[in-house]
Structure 1
């Protein structure tokens, strides 16, 4: 076994045993090289392995933090139903359970930000143009940050429904305001992909920059213009969620199977 794997195994065992508690820091690079009698390169490789496993996060000038590895993976049901709550408005498939309290980490932010290339493409605007972004970081109560939620609203959406740019968008939320402004009924499509989080995303989610993240992008399309009026992007640590989809039988796959007439042999009359 390579020496860096031996070091990683030792540190992993110490973390699981509680010798290095969650939220504390590991010894410094210099202390680890002395502890294991190896060079800095071996320590760097061992820590990189533990980072990719989501056990630690190396933060410049702050040390090597031990992350909460006990958090259970949550299931996100990817059904096709969009429901509606009379008070909260539209409810999309999520990782929350009925009645489970969720909290916000920090404050919700509203700001005009340069549209990243992908967001600009989806909204049909020039890359880099200032677009309204509503951001919040949330999780179940008493858990570390679970997701970053960024909602980008097209300039037309803000023009037609100015209330979407305010702190409180009123009963039902910003989607109700968009539909009331003439864009209803809005339809949605969702794209899912894996990605490496940006440095900012890793910091907000308190995860290693080496860890994979799950990105769910929900595109809301106006019935009036046929164009996207909002794009909501959720970034979730990949080791904390799994997508679950219930498969349904098509009419052609109903059971019991109907008798099938044998195909005529090739070349027969």
Structure 2
């Protein structure tokens, strides 16, 4: 450490090590230098090194592997969600919404999809105008591209009115076209959707299902579907994705007022 420089705190040491990783000085799959080497190099205590490593591990930058030391984690591939705002149908007859995937990519479900009545989060009870903590039908899937770790949690919450009008949406198999076709057949078509996106910290359950650290934020994309009959909300589908695995891409379109060349100018 250069003469006259203050001894780094554990957060500063974590930042220094993170910088070396980002610059490629320490690559994915490599182990960090031993604790004693880092103590000598940065003139810090053992507890400072350990706290810095703990911070990096909580962020998913490294993982501890016992006698093998501390291993640098590979950076997850970022997938693009293109905000085309276009809803289509697949060849299998299912509605397809803008998603974090590439063309021709095969996605799979981890574990068994579940349909059960659960205590709904505030975003759901607010939309359905229910009491806080009300139990609502939830259909849950944990998904990823084929051969990859869990990428996103997809929770579809269905209103009591939706279940009353289309009871089959509470069954494990909802039939061709899925629960949305059952709702539209019950007189709610065409359903219209509004999308709400926000960043937040994950719950411990979400972090466990997505195999991610709790210190990293997630991107929450909530799709609210309203009945074509009375415009009342029927479903809230919430996708939860680790924020370091995805980016939003939107194409900007010029309004007539922004046309070029400007009127009256050459």
TM-score, with normalisation over the residues of structure 1? 0.81
| Distance in structure 1 (CA, Å) of the matches to 2:70 and 2:98 | 33
Q: Given the alignment, which residue of 206, 210, 215 partners 1:205? A: 210
Deviation at 1:236, TM superposition (A): 0.4
SS at match of 1:216: strand
Q: Residue 133 in 1 paired to residue 132 in 2?
A: no
Q: Match for residue 2 of structure 1?
A: 8
Aligned CA distance change for structure 1 residues 67 and 39 (closer, same or farther; 3 Å): closer
- Once residues 135 and 86 of structure 1 are traced to their aligned partners in structure 2, the CA distance between those partners, rounded to angstroms, is 23
Return the offset for 1:172. 1.1
Two-structure CA RMSD over aligned residues (Å): 2.8
1:47 aligns with 2:58: no
Q: Which moved more, 1:118-127 or 1:235-244?
A: 118-127
Other-structure match for 1:18? 29
- Residue ranges of structure 1 left out of the alignment (5+ in a row): 21-25, 59-63, 261-269
Q: 1:17 to 1:171 in 2, by over 3 A?
A: closer
Residue 112 of structure 2 corresponds to residue 107 of structure 1: yes
Change (3 A) 1:205 1:224: same
**Secondary structure, counterpart of 1:176 in structure 2:** helix
State the distance in 1 between where 2:97 and 2:105 align. Answer: 15
Is contact 1:33-1:39 (8 Å) kept? Answer: yes
Question: Are the aligned partners of 1:133 and 1:152 in contact in 2 as well (CA < 8 Å)?
Answer: yes
Conserved 8 A contact 2:56-2:62 = no
Which residue does 1:176 correspond to in 2? Answer: 181
CA distance in 2: counterparts of 1:124 and 1:188, whole angstroms: 18
- In the alignment, is the contact (CA less than 8 A) between 1:8 and 1:47 conserved in 2? no
- 1:228 matched to 2:239: no
Any unmatched runs of 5+ in structure 2? Answer: 1-6
> Structure 1 CA distance, aligned partners of 2:219 and 2:70?
22
Please list, as runs of the form range in 1=range in 2, the aligned pairs for 1:77-116 lying within 5 A after superposition. Answer: 77-116=82-121
Q: 1:88 to 1:97 in 2, by over 3 A?
A: farther
- Offset of residue 98 of structure 1: 2.2
Distance 2:53 2:88 in 1: 46
1:79–1:93: 8 Å Cα contact kept in structure 2?
Answer: yes
SS in 2 for 1:179: helix
**Cα gap change, 1:9/1:235 in structure 2, threshold over 3 Å: closer, same or farther?**
same
- What is residue 38 of structure 1 aligned with on the other side? 45
State the secondary structure of the residue aligned to 1:113. strand
CA distance in structure 1 between the aligned counterparts of 2:118 and 2:89, rounded to whole angstroms: 30
The counterpart of 1:161, out of the listed 148, 157, 166, is 166
Q: Find the residue that maps to 2:111 and give its secondary structure.
A: coil
TM-score, normalization: structure 2? Answer: 0.82
1:110-132 CA distances to partner (integer Å, 9 max, x unpaired)? Answer: 11101222210012222222100
Q: Which moved more, 1:128-137 or 1:36-45?
A: 36-45
How far off is 1:151 after superposition? 0.4
Aligned equivalents of 2:148, 2:262: Cα separation in 1: 48
Q: CA deviation at 1:204?
A: 0.6
Q: CA deviation at 1:65?
A: 8.6
